[in-house]
Amino acid sequence: MTETAAVETVDLGKRFGGVAVLDGLTMRVARGSVYALLGPNGAGKTTTVRILATLAVPDGGVARVNGHDVVRDRRRVRRSISLAGQHAALDDQQTGSENLRMMGRLVGLSPAAARRRSADLLERFDLAAAGGRRVVTYSGGMRRRLDLAASLLGEPSVIFLDEPTTGLDPRSRQSLWEVVAELAGAGVTVLLTTQYLEEADRLADRIAVLHGGRLAAEGSAGELKRRFGAHRLELTMRDARSFAEAARRLGDRVTHREPDRLELAVGTGGDAAEIRRLLDQADPDRRGLARFVVREATLDDVFLTLTGDPVTAHREVARV
């Protein structure tokens, strides 16, 4: 393991029954970075986090956190990490402050230290005013913030966030994004799983796209977009007849269509000459096209490219 890596896996494997949930996963997370595991349901994201957090044992390969093997050195790993799962691990009948103080005692803080640390975290996560209320009265966003605060009681150097914003409203999601950015800025290594493409784009220094338990691609958001994304030419036709004719002429190149809105989209490399040819092909008499837009690649395009065809995604690991 290299000195700059906080988390590293080599040929990690895990099976449940006859199904390979992880199949030779190799990745490396730099210290003080935000690393996102992105993939559809069943891709192996949560299983990876459970192994790294010592909650599951791999069937093959090696996983290390801060240089410690997650199987042989479980105690050392657990001293330096924290995990916030998909469901907040809170006692609804206790207040927010009581939850944090209790968890502070469980991680080894003295009563006085647990009180101080709890008060600091409630302030940091904008929960000071609600600290005396029972958690059952909290909104979903407040519960997730309290759960994240609880995961920081032991001041971990590595924190695992398993789909931390699932089910949150946009404002609560934005608040959690700010907290994650603050953690990374303070030197904490954050490994998060997510199905939200915008979340990975906004937060992550590096993104690993998992598909079928394998690493389909890994890189920064910009690198992935340049390599696997494509520009899109979006066409809005004037009427249903023009729409049908354009769709027929473009054929298999159409990647998206909305008949009700008279909209079509085709992939393109963004070259001006190619766009002119596509416009002429879709509307040769220049009467059926109402307007067009050329859009840059997004992580949505990357995601569909890498996970839309399982055979292609599994053929090789693409590193950038």
Sign, CA dihedral 250-253-257-261, equals negative
Pick the CATH number of 5-226 from 3.30.70.270, 3.40.50.300, 1.10.3720.10, 2.40.440.10: 3.40.50.300
User: What are the helix (H) ranges across 167-298?
Assistant: 170-185, 197-203, 221-228, 240-250, 272-282
The per-residue pLDDT for 206 is 96
Kindly tell me if the per-residue pLDDT of 309 is higher than 70.
no
Instruction: Record the pTM.
Output: 0.75
pLDDT tens-digit readout, 94-142? 999 999 999 999 888 899 999 999 999 999 888 999 999 999 999 888 8
Q: Counting beta carbons within 10 angstroms of the beta carbon of residue 18, is it exposed (0 to 12), middle (13 to 18) or buried (19 or more)?
A: exposed
pLDDT band of residue 87 (cuts 50, 70, 90) is low
| CA distances from residue 246 to 252, 270, 285, 320 in whole angstroms, order as listed | 12, 19, 11, 36
The per-residue pLDDT for 86 is 63
Q: Which residue has the higher pLDDT, 66 or 175?
A: 66
Each domain of the chain, given as residue ranges in start order, spans 5-226, 230-296
Query: What percent of the chain has a predicted confidence (pLDDT) above 70?
Result: 93
The per-residue pLDDT for 311 is 34
The per-residue pLDDT for 299 is 82
pLDDT tens-digit readout, 198-225? 889 999 999 999 998 999 999 998 888 8
**Under CATH, to which class is 230-296 assigned?**
alpha beta
3-class DSSP state of 186: coil
Phi then psi for residue 183, to 5 deg, are -60, -45
Phi then psi for residue 68, to 5 deg, are -100, 130
pLDDT tens-digit readout, 139-181? 888 888 898 888 888 888 999 998 888 777 787 788 788 888 8
Query: What percent of the chain has a predicted confidence (pLDDT) above 90?
Result: 56
Q: Which residue has the higher pLDDT, 39 or 309?
A: 39
Mean pLDDT of the chain: 88
The per-residue pLDDT for 315 is 35
| Mean pLDDT, range 241-267, rounded to an integer | 92
Q: Report the distance separating Cα 313 and Cα 320, nearest Å.
A: 15
The per-residue pLDDT for 3 is 61
Residue 137 DSSP symbol: G
Phi then psi for residue 203, to 5 deg, are -100, -35
| Mean pLDDT, range 259-288, rounded to an integer | 91
Contacts of 43 (CB under 8 A, 6+ apart): 210, 211, 212, 213, 307
pLDDT band of residue 18 (cuts 50, 70, 90) is confident
